[in-house]
Structure 1
């Protein structure tokens, strides 16, 4: 009984395999007949390949350099004291705009003021003695040597006054230029030593972007070139400036040139130390452009297919700048030539083609949307 059941199962399996094989053979035969009836597997009348095209056109392009840099203040300084003493007053606030010469910190001045009063008194006494000696000399009552001695004493006293005045000025720390006061590092009442950092001062009315450009762009770098800069802190907002100065040396390690661009900053939105990405426009020119999808790569070269008398012609090209979905090309290609942008998988040099989007060749946007 078991042998009979095994035989039945084997017979059923063999029958199913035979039926499946026959069905596959019939399906392949029908498919082959269908292909023969259509002509060339999706080709149009006469075997022409369906393609879509776009028109090569001349456009204005910009030769640019991308770089990253750091924003600097036009003028920046750390305010330190040159003398030791106790701070008695800090008349300005942090973040305040100050003018050149405005007091920032005042140290105790009691001793220096006393020294100045003493020096002035000695100067006045020396001046009076000198004047009396001059009068007596004119009456021949004193020798000329005494007049010379009194003159030297007066000059010495005047020098001591200047020294005392200088020491007194050192007790008042003033702004060296117009700018914004930074964070204060010390408080009134603190005793400071020479060289102690008190605060910072930055002139941010104009800011400088410091960045480097590769040596190969040296020939196009001149002051006055437009610079567009962006910061993560302001999203896609673009700040416009221009190249102000170039370094006189190429860095021997990085082979790059240091460049500084200046930006107006009347609103104070840009700060020293900001990280910026810069786009430097070296030149603007006209170039022949084609859609990026029309350019095919082969090894180290590139080529496009151009439609000539309803046939595809392969043309070798050299690519350049890319901008807005278009790429610059040079080669045996002319303005207004139609280049294939869709159907490239089946197109060969010399193949007959049928343009599907005739009359819309120049509208790259519509073609990309299809």
Structure 2
């Protein structure tokens, strides 16, 4: 009886697993992965570059001649109007030159008046045959030579007066005095800046961009300018694009009169650059990104893995531009690709 009971117990244990296997479905042994779709890049690129606001009109006036700064008529931060005197120079050689030129003109004027009377007198005497024709011709020639000499003297006087006028600096436009470089009594070399003027008629921002980007910019393109130390963005427009002297291209952005930005403020300039459509994949999908043969794992319609070589490009917000035999909407593996091989069948997680 004990043996029969043991056999019955063993028989019951054998039948339980069979019934359990019949009740549970088959387990999916495929690797689980997460995927993302290939997409087209944006139609335009919005790179950002730092810059500093500056006045649209700015100048550092200087004297044409060397001398001593005798008087400065403005203060730092002062508003000046067009034509307002800024500073005066003392040069002991310029004013005497003007006085000499004016004296020469007066001398020739007196000589010319006397020759005029002599010519008229000689003509009257010649009509009565009391003077030779040669004497009349001599006086006429001397008067014409004196006229030419007077014209040269007047040109010299005008030049000397202009040189004296240049001893007073004048504002070329309405501006604020941004800085002062020379103090009264200091010696000033010819062409040395005396002060700096910052115009009040609008502001702009100068930035430098890479050569490849500069080739795609043109005057008139719209921009956005954002101050670093305050909120808001202000519209701008590219006014000029220069040529690269080294590796960067100078670009000037004109700001609207409502921008409320002042010269000297630090800003960020956002450009809107048209882009050629290209494909983008998540950075997590690119395998061996720093190696010599980067690739992605793409899925076919039947959830089979295929290895696709790619040439990564620019990275932006976690997406990388690639050159590869892919199409927008293709699925690429972004997680779980550690042990996958070409041709493996996978299970896509939601």
TM bucket, shorter chain: 0.5 to 0.7
CA distance in structure 2 between the aligned counterparts of 1:48 and 1:265, rounded to whole angstroms:
61
Structure 1, unaligned runs of 5 or more: 1-36, 38-43, 358-370
CA distance in structure 1 between the aligned counterparts of 2:188 and 2:151, rounded to whole angstroms:
33
Q: Give the counterpart of 1:151 among 124, 132, 147.
A: 147
Distance apart, 1:134 and its partner CA:
2.7
1:1-370 equivalences in 2 (<5 Å): 45-62=27-44, 77-81=59-63, 82-90=65-73, 92-98=74-80, 101-107=83-89, 120=102, 123-124=105-106, 126-127=108-109, 129-131=111-113, 133-140=115-122, 143-148=139-144, 150-152=146-148, 154-155=150-151, 157-176=153-172, 179-187=175-183, 189-195=184-190, 197-203=193-199, 205-207=202-204, 209=206, 211=208, 213-214=210-211, 217=212, 220-221=215-216, 223-224=218-219, 240-242=236-238, 244-247=240-243, 251=246, 256=247, 258-264=249-255, 266=257, 269=261, 271=263, 283-297=274-288, 299=291, 300-309=293-302, 311-318=303-310, 319-345=312-338, 347-357=340-350
Distance apart, 1:169 and its partner CA:
0.3
Distance apart, 1:316 and its partner CA:
0.9
Q: Find the counterpart in structure 1 of residue 11 from structure 2.
A: none
The CA RMSD over aligned residues, in Å, is 4.5
The number of residue pairs the alignment matches comes to: 306
CA distance in structure 2 between the aligned counterparts of 1:250 and 1:182, rounded to whole angstroms:
29
CA distance in structure 1 between the aligned counterparts of 2:326 and 2:237, rounded to whole angstroms:
37
CA distance in structure 1 between the aligned counterparts of 2:153 and 2:326, rounded to whole angstroms:
90
CA distance in structure 1 between the aligned counterparts of 2:61 and 2:346, rounded to whole angstroms:
77
Q: Provide the TM-score with structure 1 as the length reference.
A: 0.62
SS state at 2:242 partner: strand
CA distance in structure 1 between the aligned counterparts of 2:188 and 2:38, rounded to whole angstroms:
73
Question: Which structure is higher in strand share?
Answer: 1
CA distance in structure 2 between the aligned counterparts of 1:63 and 1:265, rounded to whole angstroms:
23
CA distance in structure 2 between the aligned counterparts of 1:108 and 1:268, rounded to whole angstroms:
41
Q: Provide the TM-score with structure 2 as the length reference.
A: 0.65
